[in-house]
Structure 1
Amino acid sequence: MKSKILALLGGTLLSASAMAGGYQVNLASQRQIGMGHTGTGIVAGTSSIFFNPGAMSFLRENGVTIGASAIVSKIAYRSTEFTSATANTDNPIGTPFEVYAVYGITEKLKAGLGVYTPFGSTVNWGDEWNGRFGLTQLSLEAAFIQPTLSYQISDKVGVGAGLVIATGGVNLQRQLPLQGPDGTEPGVELDGGANTGFGFNAGIYFQPTEAFSIGIDYRSRIDLQVEGGEVSFSDLPSSASALFQPGTEFSAELPLPSTLTVGVGYRPNDRVTLAVDVSRVGWSAYEKLRFDYTKPVGGRLFSENARNYDDAYIYRIGGEYKSSDALTLRAGVYYDTTPVNNGYLTPETPDANALGLSAGLTYHLSDDFSVDASFLYVNKEERTDPANLSGGVAGTFKSVAYIPGIGLNYKF
């Protein structure tokens, strides 16, 4: 019993961060969402701060962009052991956002600042489902701040780089497999904020002709550390008080993986832009998850669970059509492969290969002001994992998400 409780406590908290990354929120720009979230091989406006800092030097105007999305996600579960055991999440709407600003110091040197939220959502399974001892609710918040410089070496080549400052926090709740007072099930809550982590985003942009362009972008791995996180318990029976002591704190480290992206852009005429991106995400950095406790939890001062993720690829294609001086239309598609191996599926954000379909538009209200709108539909493959090796819940999971978004752009 002690080892089972310990595995449940130690196997989920920061894996949720990784799964959010594996899920890869990927909502860094409303314009680029409409194009399947491509943008490395083209000049993507102010959001080049994220997609390729090298392309930022090709912007000819100063600009500010503010945007946000609304994530409506659903996850369904069916037990492989008890066919009548099913569950559905009741998730609140997530609201990731992005803010970008670019200013030309000289004609060739540009400075920019980006603030965006690559991780952040809430998963709520409730306290009655079959996997309540693994998870009832998870809330994750994270924000990246990226000051950036970009320089146009020639009329064909631009380079750029930015420092990435990452911070965040997490709250996780679950039930314990014990009987509390009056027959209730005890609960555990883990709450902690991550120390500031640092990384970088660097890119090069090459435009050999008016019609053709190529870009390479690398976003580095960032190690986030949680120290002094609080572990609290509720409705514990007196017989378990020695195993779960009040005032317990935890620490842990999580690698957020690197991403290498190669993108190509093609403009056959002034009205049409096509883009293709291929990304390799370095999820193999996430081999295990270890928690250290200030007081014994389940009789031990640490817990460790294997993750053994693989590197994953994302394939994207998108396009836009300028139908008039005021209106531009967009569409895109991507295929996102999962880094999670069989045996390591967990209920925080059950991961599987995903297909994303998107559409969007920009409408110019004036020469200086425009509005972006986007819609993304994400459909993950149904996935069954009957032999879980990482403290998760055996069963079949199916996930979908509907994500509208809006952005405002101002040039000066």
Structure 2
Amino acid sequence: MKRVLSLSLIASSMLMAGGYKIPETSLNGVALSAANIAHNKSADAAYYNPANMVFMEDKNNIELDLTYIGLDPVSYNGKVTATNVDLDSERESFIVPTIHYVSGKAGEARIGLSIVSPGGLSKRWTESPASKSAEEFTLKVIEINPTFAIPVGEKVALAFGFRIVHSEGVVKATPSPGAVYQDMTGDSIDYGYNLALAYKPTSDIDVALTYRSQVNLTVEGSADLYYAPGGLVPKGNYEASVNIPLPATASAALAYTLPSKTTVEFVYERNMWSAYKNLDFDYTNASAEAVFGTSKSKDWKDTNAFRLGLTQELDNMTLMAGMVYDESPVPSKTLGFELPDSNSLSVSLGGRYEINDKIEVGLSALYSMRETRKIETNDANDNNLVGEFTNANVLMISTGVSYKF
């Protein structure tokens, strides 16, 4: 029972660079499957590779995007303990706004600002036994990322930025209606940094390196708890906190532009998820800590993502397409209903149209197809699962407008 009840808000926050991460935080990001790090002439360079701001046209550039995210219902067929079940989660959908800004030159330097939602989750199961541990897991994340870039010679630029991350979430679970439940909320503001390098050895080759630091989420909140057996935890609101790492991410990218103004970009991305070893929720109340505060092993692994982007520039239009293969960080042993994660293959396309020399509009879409995730008996799953999760696909549609002045 303690193992089930130790599920927390932050279990879902870790999806930001794993299961339901959102690296596609702009119109171009969606169209190119986030393969827009080395070759980028738009305002979202402020987020993806701020060093590229140095090589942009000497104008202020601002872009506003709206992205629809739809999560298919996840199906689970198999056993929970010794009981055969066939369950489906609820369908989820969101509208996420983002904004990117790149300044004109300040001397030779450039300043950027991005306000994005780099990840999040809403996973709800209304059917038992999934609802016993994951009735609702919801996370909202907003990152404010100011950046500063300078040239180093004519072919190299460097950039530095601050990550200001606000997270807010909810977790509800009812292992035993009327006898045991938890309804938890929490939030935090935490900080990190990002570094970027852009190198243009020739007019048709772009090279980039980026690094986003680990951010320790120091979430504090409260929980309505009740544990009736033995009267161990009376009904009440209890203070709670947890300290969880949001792992670092490093990327290396290479882009080549053909004489036909066709650009091909490849991105290798490494997510350092092995920093997430366990989940240990702390309660100031001794009884709540004894029942609900048991440390839960996670043992996530570092993961790779391989991104490919294709851009074709025309007279008044830019066409884009992309593909990405992304690995899951969650081992079969600790997989649960709050994160039925698996490896994924995504495809994307989109376009931008130049109305005049100041205004551009665009539309893009991405579809992520997730592999079936099987849990075998010999995986010794901590949540007593033996079966498979299917249909965890994701659709993203983004529209945006940019303005230069």
Match 1:242 to one of 224, 232, 237:
232
Match 1:52 to one of 39, 49, 52:
49
Identity between Structure 1 and Structure 2 (%): 24
What are the within-5 Å matches in structure 2 for residues 80-119 of structure 1?
80=79, 85-106=85-106, 108-119=108-119
Tell me, in whole angstroms, the C-alpha distance in 2 between the residues paired with 1:66 and 1:286: 33
Match 1:375 to one of 349, 365, 370:
365
8 Å Cα contact 1:125-1:137 kept in structure 2: yes
Distance 1:345 1:109, change over 3 A: same
Tell me, in whole angstroms, the C-alpha distance in 1 between the residues paired with 2:343 and 2:4: 26
**Residue type of the partner of 2:162?**
L
The equivalent residue for 1:189 is 183
SS of alignment partner, residue 133 of structure 2: coil
Tell me, in whole angstroms, the C-alpha distance in 2 between the residues paired with 1:25 and 1:137: 20
SS of alignment partner, residue 97 of structure 1: strand
8 Å Cα contact 1:19-1:350 kept in structure 2: no
Tell me, in whole angstroms, the C-alpha distance in 2 between the residues paired with 1:383 and 1:221: 28
What are the within-5 Å matches in structure 2 for residues 279-298 of structure 1?
279-295=269-285, 296-297=287-288
The equivalent residue for 1:222 is 215
What are the within-5 Å matches in structure 2 for residues 173-322 of structure 1?
173-176=172-175, 178=176, 180=178, 186-194=180-188, 196-227=189-220, 229-233=221-225, 239=229, 241-269=231-259, 271-295=261-285, 296-297=287-288, 299-300=290-291, 302-322=293-313
Q: Which structure 1 segments of 5+ residues have no match?
A: none
Distance 1:381 1:276, change over 3 A: same
**Residue type of the partner of 1:231?**
A
The equivalent residue for 2:13 is 17
**Residue type of the partner of 1:318?**
G
Match 1:404 to one of 386, 392, 397:
397
Distance 1:392 1:369, change over 3 A: farther
Distance 1:376 1:301, change over 3 A: closer
Of 358-367 and 83-92, deviating more is: 83-92
The equivalent residue for 2:171 is 172
Tell me, in whole angstroms, the C-alpha distance in 1 between the residues paired with 2:162 and 2:384: 36
Tell me, in whole angstroms, the C-alpha distance in 2 between the residues paired with 1:200 and 1:174: 35
Q: What TM-score do the two structures reach when normalised by structure 2? A: 0.92
Cα deviation for residue 41 of structure 1 reads: 1.3
Q: What TM-score do the two structures reach when normalised by structure 1? A: 0.91
Cα deviation for residue 53 of structure 1 reads: 1.5
8 Å Cα contact 2:225-2:238 kept in structure 1: no
Q: Are 1:338 and 2:338 matched, yes or no?
A: no
Q: Are 1:29 and 2:18 matched, yes or no?
A: no
8 Å Cα contact 1:108-1:153 kept in structure 2: no
Cα deviation for residue 105 of structure 1 reads: 3.6
The equivalent residue for 2:347 is 357
**Residue type of the partner of 1:67?**
D
Tell me, in whole angstroms, the C-alpha distance in 2 between the residues paired with 1:311 and 1:297: 33
Distance 1:47 1:30, change over 3 A: same
8 Å Cα contact 1:103-1:111 kept in structure 2: yes
Cα deviation for residue 130 of structure 1 reads: 2.8
**Residue type of the partner of 1:232?**
D
Cα deviation for residue 167 of structure 1 reads: 1.0
When the two chains are superposed, the root-mean-square deviation of aligned CA atoms in Å is 2.0
Cα deviation for residue 240 of structure 1 reads: 5.3
Tell me, in whole angstroms, the C-alpha distance in 2 between the residues paired with 1:155 and 1:135: 54
The equivalent residue for 2:132 is 133
What are the within-5 Å matches in structure 2 for residues 378-389 of structure 1?
378-386=368-376, 387=379, 389=381
Tell me, in whole angstroms, the C-alpha distance in 1 between the residues paired with 2:8 and 2:233: 19
8 Å Cα contact 1:354-1:379 kept in structure 2: yes
SS of alignment partner, residue 118 of structure 1: coil
SS of alignment partner, residue 187 of structure 1: strand
**Residue type of the partner of 1:397?**
F
Tell me, in whole angstroms, the C-alpha distance in 2 between the residues paired with 1:158 and 1:209: 14
SS of alignment partner, residue 345 of structure 1: coil
SS of alignment partner, residue 70 of structure 1: strand
